[in-house]
Amino acid sequence: DAKTTQPPSMDCAEGRAANLPCNHSTISGNEYVYWYRQIHSQGPQYIIHGLKNNETNEMASLIITEDRKSSTLILPHATLRDTAVYYCIEPNAGGTSYGKLTFGQGTILTVHP
């Protein structure tokens, strides 16, 4: 089972920032947190990952709390095309084999005009 906790759904107005929270209270010291998103009927897309420092790329920013028990994915200017399911993933949470990702149910983000 996934060890991350995310709200099942969130809404955001187009052009505004979307802030998606994730709790990963059982994460170990050397494990990264990964974020993916899945647009309907497509394969998931990698967004960003981080260990303990805040990260930013062309898609999003990732803010990780100092105790690493939670993080927030920020889409700074959400567009209608950002409507998707967003997954926060703690690698190996579901097992012992390296590279085995466990996807939970994620957060359904709906961006409104």
Partner 1 sequence: DGGITQSPKYLFRKEGQNVTLSCEQNLNHDAMYWYRQDPGQGLRLIYYSQIVNDFQKGDIAEGYSVSREKKESFPLTVTSAQKNPTAFYLCASSKDRVSGEKLFFGSGTQLSVL
Distance CA 89, CA 85 (A): 13
Distance CA 93, CA 31 (A): 10
Q: Which residues contact partner 1 by CB under 8 A?
A: 2, 32, 34, 36, 41-46, 49, 87, 89, 91, 94-95, 97-106
Q: State the minimum distance, in angstroms, from the CB of residue 16 to partner 1.
A: 27
Nearest residue (CB) to partner 1, 43 versus 113 = 43
Distance CA 1, CA 98 (A): 15
Nearest residue (CB) to partner 1, 24 versus 91 = 91
